[in-house]
Each structure stands twice: as structure tokens, then as C-alpha cells.
Chains A and B, each alone.
Chain A
Amino acid sequence: MARAISKKNKIINSLIAWTIGLIIFFPILWIIILSFKTEGDAIRSPIAVIFSNWTFENYFVVQDRSDYFKHFYNSVFIAFGSTFLGILIAVPASWSMAFVPSKRTRGILLWMLSTKMLPAVGVLYPIYILFIALGILDSRVGLVVVLMLMNLPIIVWMLYTYFREIPEEILEASRMDGAGLREEILFVLTPMALPGIASTVLLNIILAWNEAFWTLNLTAAKAAPLTAFIASYSSPEGLFYAKLSAASVMAIAPILIMGWFSQKQLVRGLTFGAVK
């Protein structure tokens, strides 16, 4: 819809867009700034804050005193682990629904999506005691399984839409060329679907990294990822704005970068393709 407009209008649009953009982005910008200030400076008035001294000390303190990297590693393990497990299970499922659809396919897809709608709080207690019984409370593996199950519908769905975009004729051509099922998936389907698979992986790592229900309720000292680690700042001791800022910046930076690349996938994945 955007087309050529006058220079004057372009200037006005730019001014408005940048102003609103900066306002929206401001909280993130602010904590980036605060993360480089001392605690004493961090609580002063904004102008004073900006002109005070810069320091890296917070980043070191956060690691030293609270073992930031352990939590970072937990986040990585849980996010990547649940995503890859999900991909492993979803690729065959999505393949079969995309290329060998039956009368039930539509129903199965909708059912899978509906499982994502289940409010987690409704099954909190059963999962909690199941985890205790199985000995996987406060374990990375346990969280990988739960988050995988929570995101499986989205992974299946996204892969399904990407697979459907592969022209059926190309797969038929491979069958005519003598490719069995294994060769078809290995040499033709996967290379063509790779960008779609990558997008799905990206989006799901983001969703798993930011997940803040199960990660808060099912973990303690051992498996707590960054979400829970940051939550520990809700009952702090002494001045902590600068440290919280530093910890937050480190926690959100990877995702902000990944998020930038995954805008289109976000729309596809979270609206279940209902918006194109």
C-alpha cells in the first residue's frame, strides 16, 4: 500500500515514527544506560544519571555474585533442547499431514492447535507432583519436556505451512526419478524446507527462552533459567537497579537480536497462519 509521497509528508512521517519508536523503545534503552552506571547513580534523576560516570562493574558483579552464566546456560539448554526435540517429533508429523492428507488431517491440526490454548495453571498441580514423583523437579530435562509439549503445536503448525508451500510436483518428480521415501525426504524435501525449518527453530527458541510460567514454578537452584534468575530480583537487598539492568540486558540481548530476524515467522506462527 505504501507508495510515493511528497517530501514534506515523508519528513512528517519520519518525525512521528521516530518519536513514537523511541518512546516505545525507551525502557530498553534506559536499562542499557543504567547497566553502565553505579548503583548510587542509578537511582538519581534522569538527567543526573545520563551525565554521571560509566562503568562496567555491574556486569562483573552479576556474574561473580550470582553465577549468571549458570542460568544463562540453563536458558540455552532448555530453549535449544525443547526446540530440537520438538523439531524431531514435528518434522515427520508435519510431512505426513502436508503431503498425505486424509479427511481427518484438518481436524487433527485444529485439535493440536487447541492444546496450545490450555491454560497452564489448570494443570500446574498435576505436573508439579508428577515431576516430584519422577524426580525431575528442578531439572533441565524436565523443563525441556514440558516446554517441548507446550510449543509442539506451534512447531507442527509452522512446519506444516512451510511444507505445503513446497510444490507437490517436485516431490512427485523425485518419486518418478526413483527416489524412495527416505531419499525424497533427505535429498529433496529437507533442503527445500530448510529456510522454513530454520525460521521455525528461531521462533521457538525465542518462545522457550521467554517462557515464564513453568520455568518459574518448576525450577529452583539447579535448573533455574534466566527468567527465574531475574525474578529473584523481586525481593532484593540494598540498591540493585544497576545490577538488575545489567542482568536484564544480558538476558534479553540474544533474543532481541533473534527477534529482529524472525518477524515474519512470528506472524505466521502465533496467528496460526490466519493472517497472511
Chain B
Amino acid sequence: MSWIQLKNVSKKFDDLEIIPPLNLEIKDGEFVVFVGPSGCGKSTLLRLIAGLEDVSSGQIFINGEDATEVSPAKRKLAMVFQSYALYPHMTVRKNISFPLRMAGVSNAEQVKKVDDAAKVLNLSEYLDRKPGQLSGGQRQRVAIGRAIVREPQAFLFDEPLSNLDAALRVGMRVEISELHKRLATTMIYVTHDQVEAMTMADKIVVLQNGKIEQVGSPLDLYRSPINTFVASFIGSPKMNIIEGVQASKHRSESIGIRPEHISISDTNGTWEGTIGVSEQLGSDTFFHVKCQFQDQSITVRAVGGLELAYGQTVFLTPDQKHLHRFDKSGLRIK
């Protein structure tokens, strides 16, 4: 149980600055998600916290103590890798007990702790198998088990679900969230998938090019994105960003309106357009509407089952209450 603080932490590889000086605080017991596009530095940041990489400058405090020079093992953090990184030549039991063995825990203790972890993760039947004989989801759980037995101060997850198929991913998401509720340990989770971020996080850190764009709860980021990058990144399908005349009508360089905040009618509305591609999900329908004032189609969410013909003329009305305004540098206008 700890709080983690990064003070002016930066990272350079050769002469390339991947992460400019950065400050972040993570409270005890929080589920924090680092999210951002590929190459934004989220994994690097995680590895700096883990101690697998040295910081180029700055300090990292864990539970009040300066851990900047401390080796990974001594930081009492546990990491679940994207590829699970299980030891292929050891059984599940040996994999999970490995950190205990390294810590010099007695054999009897090891057996007990492994059995406990296996029960929590439904792995008791597989303890004598080797990773090669397990499915993706099972390997995932072994990796988590190996982290749990260490009873770490915080769990670090590096895109743990990206190697699983879609259905499994949804299930594991819930399991990890439940684990967090049960253990109440700080968890830092890295993903490029904003759906995972939104559904699992207490606090989301949005990163781009090594810089923190915004920190906040999922709903904060959804309702009040601080710039166009965060506005476009959070929420699926993406928020519609409109520039030009339509934006200057609202005294802004650009405005943003989410698909779910636009109503569609075939008789009247603020903007006129023609239907392009329509995506029928059953629960919702998404229309890509081509309007005169820009090249990019506007995405609109409508009720499931609504069928409109390709090329049909429609009218869109954005909900003024949920209209976002951005200035020349992409920042939010209050």
C-alpha cells in the first residue's frame, strides 16, 4: 500500500528525449491508467517506476522514500508483462513461487501462498502444467498470480490484455477490476485502448509524446477534455471536431460534439447533410454524414435499428449543452 510520486522525471535514449520532465502523484489504493497512442511513452513511464530503466533526471518516491536508485526487486512492486513473461521451463507452481524462492521464504510457506493465489485465480487444477500447455487467459492468470504472491506495494500492468482475443479481454477486464476491489492495492495499468481505461480506472493519465495531457477521472475526461487531443482520444466513436465557419459562429477556432450528442431528423435541423456509410450494431446505429462545410464526415449515434438510405438528405442538430469549444492552440475555452 503506498503512494507513488514522480518529481521532474525525464528519460532520454541517447540524445532523444522520450519523456520531458514530468510530475505525477498516485494515491494509495488508486487504479491509475496510463493511456495514449503508440509511442507516447506510457510503457517507458511504467518501466521507470518499476526500475527496469534508469531515469535520466528527477526522482521517484515510493511510500515516502526515494526509490530512484533502488533496484527493481527492492522496490516491492510487481509487474505483469504484455507477453506474460512466464518461465517456460517451470511449472505453474514453480512460476508463481519463484519470487518467494528468491526472497528466501520457507518451502512450507511457499506451498501455502501458491495454493492461496491459485484458489483466488482458479488455477488450482493447473499447478503442475507448464506454460506451453495453457491457454492465453490461463497464462494471464499465472502472471497475475506470480505478482500477487509477492504482496507488493503496487501492481504494474503493461498492456496485459492486448494479446487476448476480444471476448476474453472483456472478461479479464472485469476480473482485474474485481481483483483491485478485493486487494485494495495500488494498480498502475498501461493500455492504448481507451475503453479499458474508461472502464477500469479511478484516475486516467493521458499521454502524448512523453507529456501528460490531462489527469482526471474517466467522467472528468469525458465531460471536460482539456484540449482537442484528449477530446478526440477519449470516447468511442471519436468526438466530431469541426473548424471553419461553424466554429466561428461559436466564437471558437474549433468546436467538438460527440456522436451521442447529435440528433438526426429527415425534416429539419442545424446542419444539412447526406448519409454515407451506416453501421448497424443492433444496440446503436452510427451514421457517417457528409455535410457541406467540411470534407470529414460527421459521426452521429442514433437508436438501434434505424435504417436510412445511402445518399438520403438528413438534418443534424448538436446539443448545445454538450458542445465543446477550443481555441487556436487546441485548448478548451471555458
Contact = CB atoms under 8 A, between A and B. Distances in A.
A174 B89 CA distance: 13
A170 interface: yes
Q: What band does the interface of chain A fall in when counting residues whose beta carbon is under 8 Å from B?
A: 10 to 19
Contact of B102 (A167, A169, A178, A191): A178
Contact of B73 (A175, A188, A191): A175
B87 to A, nearest CB: 6
B83 A176 contact: no
Residue from the set A167, A172, A176, A180 with the largest chain B CB neighbour count within 10 Å: A176
Contact of A183 (B72, B89, B102): B102
B98 A177 contact: yes
Contacts of A176: 50, 52, 72-73, 77-79, 99
Contacts of A167: 83, 85
B81 A173 contact: yes
A179 interface: yes
Q: What band does the interface of chain B fall in when counting residues whose beta carbon is under 8 Å from A?
A: 20 to 34
A107 B71 CA distance: 30
A170 B99 contact: no
A175 B81 contact: no
A178 B73 CA distance: 4
A149 interface: no
A175 B85 contact: no
Q: SS class of chain A's interface: helix, strand, loop or mixed? A: helix
Interface string A167-210: 10110111111111001000110011000000000000000000
B88 A192 contact: yes
A179 B85 CA distance: 14
A51 B87 CA distance: 60
Contact of B89 (A172, A173, A179, A191): A191
B146 A169 contact: no
Contacts of A173: 79, 81, 85-87, 146
A173 to B, nearest CB: 4
Interface in B56-77: 71-73, 77
A174 B98 CA distance: 8
B81 A177 contact: no
Given A172-B52, A173-B79, A173-B81, A178 B87 contact: no
Contact of B85 (A172, A183, A191): A172
B27 interface: no
B150 interface: yes
Contacts of B77: 176
A170 to B, nearest CB: 5
Given A191-B89, A192-B88, A192-B89, A177 B102 contact: yes
B50 A178 contact: no
B281 interface: no
A4 B308 CA distance: 50
A191 B95 CA distance: 14
Contacts of A187: 98
Nearest to A170: B85
Given A169-B81, A183-B102, A175 B72 contact: yes
A186 to B, nearest CB: 11
A166 to B, nearest CB: 10
A170 B103 contact: no
Given A169-B81, A172-B52, A177 B146 contact: yes
A179 to B, nearest CB: 5
Given A169-B83, A173-B81, 14 more contacts: A167-B83, A170-B86, A173-B85, A173-B146, A174-B87, A175-B73, A176-B52, A176-B73, A176-B78, A177-B99, A178-B73, A178-B102, A179-B98, A191-B89
Interface of A: 167, 169-170, 172-180, 183, 187-188, 191-192
24 contacts: A169-B81, A170-B86, A170-B88, A172-B72, A172-B81, A173-B81, A173-B86, A173-B87, A173-B146, A174-B87, A175-B52, A175-B71, A175-B73, A176-B50, A176-B72, A176-B79, A176-B99, A177-B73, A177-B102, A178-B150, A179-B73, A179-B98, A179-B102, A192-B87
Interface of B: 50, 52, 71-73, 77-79, 81-83, 85-89, 98-99, 102-103, 146, 150
Task: Report, nearest first, the 5 A-B pairs whose CB atoms are least far apart.
Answer: A178-B102, A177-B99, A173-B85, A178-B73, A169-B85
